[in-house]
A and B are shown apart, each in its own frame.
Chain A
């Protein structure tokens, strides 16, 4: 009955590979997000989708491509992985406009290590 679930939890891969991280929420929220947390624990938003529509696209290399097949799922595909992509990636969700009053519900994160 996990609210926001991400898979995999850990991902170790070589430079140049392509990988995907999946996220699903069962809260009925309209909006989903991807955040990146670096080794210093800084959190930075990457993307946001509302009802399958991209609404936030921060300055992220185009090697990163989010995909939302439906409002309960938001996946992140990364092409040509680089060492600097190593981080923890968090999926989050909220009601449309609800991030103002209710905040986010976060997944437990995917620790990506590029070697």
Chain B
């Protein structure tokens, strides 16, 4: 079985500050990990993914995430928040070919 826990349903940062969105997973086999972003009234868009290889992965819009097996974590970061980053962020884990399991989401608010 696989599961995802996103710590903090709401995160608020000031523009220009570091963004850190937390994701921990549970999986009995090596996981494939994803972050998606959902802007208001839109579908989910893939931000970045970890499959194999380098544990630090870079995605779109300046985001990156690091896979830490020992901590079963895949936290999402961005050095400097922009107003346009305000959105809902979902972490997902996939160990089966058929489907991903999503976390409950984290709402990111960026204050001017």
Binding site for B on A (CB under 8 A): 4, 33, 40-43, 45, 48, 55-56, 90, 92, 96-97, 99-109
Main secondary structure of the interface of B (DSSP, over half): strand
Q: Considering the complex, which residues of chain B in the window 22-67 have a beta carbon less than 8 Å from any beta carbon of chain A?
A: 32, 34, 36, 38, 41-46, 49, 51
Name the residue of chain A whose CB is nearest to the CB of B102.
Answer: A43
The list of the 9 closest CB pairs from A to B, nearest first, reads A106-B43, A43-B102, A106-B44, A103-B46, A108-B43, A41-B105, A97-B97, A101-B51, A103-B34
- Which residue from A33, A42, A96 sits with its C-beta under 8 Å from B105? A42
Binding site for A on B (CB under 8 A): 32, 34, 36, 38, 41-46, 49, 51, 88, 90, 92, 94, 97-100, 102, 104-105
